[in-house]
């Protein structure tokens, strides 16, 4: 019995459907290793041991005293090389492989973060002061990109609420706004008008105070690589990835909802809330399924990316209208 093959022309293939070169090469490497070491041995070993960042040229400084978080998923962790070579970070280019190359010399020290707006303790904090506010935790979170791919990453940081409680927001503070560094020399992507710079994101105050919202400064047990948001970013695992502001230099507490960058750029495609919702399609593609980096079959997209703990935050809201 014969079979037919469906061959797509390059113009018909979305960027989200193309297997990244790094994943293809990683798969070849993994299969070769399996042949040498024996499939049973490899499958029995910890995946993290086979992809330790210390084995790569991109390794950062190790973070000591990390405790494990009960908020972690038990899903298989995405290989370090994929997470550091397949990035949406338009400040360093619009192609997925550009940030790893163009952010190599990005300077993350000295680094200050301004605390402004509706807050009692307006101040400018040094990055190392922020990192000492709470013990570091490892949280293994799954993430969903609006383009259709997903990852599982062991982030290192602490609850964003730890910082918020220390700066005493006033009763007028209803939202938290995050602003990324504006530096066209260090961030060559900002020399192009693909977005309005600097990059701005925001959360409602109750979202920012939720235990799952993470102020993040590391991953895989080490400091964040530049292309993944060093030295400081937020991680909000129940929302699409563009909500997770990187290289943060300002945190502002506001009475009104911030105008976030992607909503300004394409309001019909990117809303303020950006909750993962398989029932709300992007105007140009379905969000019902996702492809995990390193895998070759799609899986169903889960409401709130599977983090049902946050559902009560949106009780009574129309999540199709407030996308």
What's the mean pLDDT in 181-207? 98
H or E element: which one contains 191?
none
CA atoms within 13 A of residue 2's CA, in its CB half-sphere: 2
Q: Which H helix or E strand runs over 230? A: none
Q: What is the CA radius of gyration of the chain?
A: 20
Q: Which domain holds residue 219?
A: 15-313
Residue 4 lies inside a defined structural domain of this protein:
no
Residue 43, classified by CB atoms within 10 Å of its CB into exposed (0-12), middle (13-18) or buried (19+), is: exposed
Q: Residue for token digits 């790094």?
A: 22
Mean residue pLDDT across the chain: 87
Q: Is residue 190 in a domain?
A: yes
Nearest-angstrom CA–CA distance, 262 and 264: 5
pLDDT of amino acid 23:
44
Give me the pLDDT at residue 48, please. Answer: 40
The pLDDT value recorded for residue 53 is: 58
User: Tokens 């889960």 — which residue?
Assistant: 302
Residues 264-318: tens digit of each pLDDT: 999 999 999 999 999 999 999 999 999 999 999 999 999 999 999 999 999 999 9
**Domain holding 50: CATH number?**
3.90.420.10
Going by C-alpha positions, the residue among 204, 122, 216 that lies closest to residue 170 is 122
Closest by CA position to 29, among listed 98, 80, 101 = 80
Torsion of CA 186, 189, 195, 197, to 10 degrees: 10
- The Cα–Cα gap between 89 and 292 comes to 19
Question: What is the pLDDT confidence band of residue 107, given thresholds at 50, 70 and 90?
Answer: very high
266, part of any domain: yes
Residue 226 lies in a domain: yes
211 inside domain? yes
Number of domains the chain is built from = 1
- Is 46 exposed, middle or buried, given 0-12, 13-18 or 19+ CB atoms closer than 10 A? exposed
Does 8 fall in a domain?
no
Q: What whole-number distance in Å separates Cα of residue 321 and Cα of residue 302?
A: 18
Three-class SS state of 277: coil
Q: Determine, yes or no, domain membership for 235.
A: yes
| CB count in 10 Å sphere of residue 206 | 13
Is the per-residue pLDDT at 41 higher than 70?
no
% of the chain residues with pLDDT over 90: 81
- Tokens 């070759």 locate to 296
Q: Is residue 246 part of a domain?
A: yes
| From 244-248, 251-255, 319-323, the region with the lowest mean pLDDT | 319-323
């Amino acid at each position: 019995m014969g079979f037919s093959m469906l061959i797509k022309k390059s113009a018909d293939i979305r960027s989200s459907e193309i297997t990244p070169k790094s994943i293809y090469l990683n798969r070849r490497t993994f299969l070769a290793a399996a042949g040498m070491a024996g499939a049973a041995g490899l499958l029995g070993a910890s995946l993290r041991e086979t992809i330790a960042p210390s084995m790569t040229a991109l390794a950062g400084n190790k973070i000591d005293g990390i405790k494990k978080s009960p908020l972690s998923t038990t899903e298989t962790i995405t290989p370090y090389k994929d997470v550091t070579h397949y990035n949406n970070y338009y400040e360093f280019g619009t192609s997925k492989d550009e940030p790893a190359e163009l952010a190599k010399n990005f300077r993350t020290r000295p680094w200050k973060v301004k605390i402004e707006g509706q807050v009692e303790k307006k101040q400018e904090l040094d990055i190392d002061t922020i990192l000492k506010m709470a013990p570091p935790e490892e949280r293994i979170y799954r993430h969903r990109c609006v383009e259709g791919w997903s990852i599982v990453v062991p982030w290192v940081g602490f609850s964003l609420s730890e910082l918020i409680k220390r700066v005493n927001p006033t009763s007028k503070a209803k939202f938290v706004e995050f602003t990324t560094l504006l530096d066209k020399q260090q961030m060559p992507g900002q020399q192009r008008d693909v977005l309005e710079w600097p990059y701005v994101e925001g959360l409602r105050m109750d979202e920012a105070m939720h235990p799952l919202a993470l102020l993040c400064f590391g991953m895989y047990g080490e400091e964040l690589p530049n292309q993944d948001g060093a030295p400081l970013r937020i991680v909000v695992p129940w929302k699409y990835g563009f909500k997770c502001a990187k290289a943060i230099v300002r945190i502002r507490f506001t009475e009104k909802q911030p105008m976030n960058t992607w909503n300004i750029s394409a309001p019909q495609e990117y809303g303020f809330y950006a909750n993962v919702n398989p029932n709300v399609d992007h105007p140009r593609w379905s969000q019902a399924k996702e492809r995990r980096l390193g895998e070759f079959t799609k899986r169903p997209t889960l409401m709130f990316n599977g983090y049902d703990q946050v559902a009560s935050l949106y009780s009574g809201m129309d999540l199709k209208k407030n996308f």
